[in-house]
Amino acid sequence: QEQLVESGGGVVQPGRSLRLSCVASGFTLSTYAMHWVRQAPGKGLEWVAVISYDGTNKYYADSVKGRFTISRDNSKNTLYLQMNSLREEDTAVYYCASALVVAAAFDYWGQGTLVTVSS
Amino acid sequence: QSVLTQPPSASGTPGQRITISCSGSGSNIESNTINWYLQLPGAAPKLLIYGNNQRPSGVPDRFSGSKSGTSASLAISGLQSEDEADYYCAAWDDSLNGWVFGGGTKLTVL
């Protein structure tokens, strides 16, 4: 059964960094584009970033551009999100999700990992 | 403010048919396909409709999607109590070069 499991969340002070990971099981990550989507407490979904199956194309939401970096290691079936210069407004549950291609629907989602940015 | 506009809430009684709207612009809904996601309380989102009107395997045919111009709709017929959830529309935006979501609609089954 296809499954995505995120990890790496936690409490971090403003201005610090954090790296999230998303490991796939039951399917090969290398054939899918991968997304990060976040949800602030009590709020709606916000798309964060996407990376193509081979890592050559990356797109970011304006709110994270220049601070966050999406990457992948297909040999480890793992997706990453490096988050630098964190702000309190980055506090959210971060989900990873797979898609056939960058502009296709997000078909499988992980359960999410909570990132809290607070002093 | 979300790029795609949804009503914040909707409600219906069991067995009823309801629709949830999603309004966008020429750079997102009009130019690209729309997808719908369902999020049950405390759970991760799940794909409900893709490609405007396609249902993934396992999604009941009570759920249907449509699109016209810069707007789209999700219809749920034969409403059931387990349909109580948040519903989100999403589309690729050619101007932003990224994905945009609607603000979400909280469906209550009375």
Query: Which pLDDT band holds residue A60 (cuts at 50, 70, 90)?
Result: very high
Cβ–Cβ under 8 Å, residues A111 and A119: no
Residues of B in contact with A60 (CB under 8 A): 98
What distance in Å separates the CA atoms of residue A36 and residue A95, rounded to the nearest whole number?
A: 6
State whether B101 and A109 contact (CB < 8 Å).
Answer: no
pLDDT higher than 90, residue B1: no
- Compute the CA torsion angle B21, B24, B26, B31 (nearest 10 deg): -60
pLDDT higher than 90, residue A2: no
Min Cα distance B44 → chain A (Å) is 5
Q: How many helices (H) and strands (E) does chain A have?
A: 0, 11
Chosen for mutation from A3, A22, A47 (greatest number of chain B CBs closer than 10 Å) is A47
State whether B98 and A61 contact (CB < 8 Å).
Answer: yes
Query: Which pLDDT band holds residue A31 (cuts at 50, 70, 90)?
Result: very high
Among B33, B44, B56, the residue with its CB nearest the CB of A95 is B44
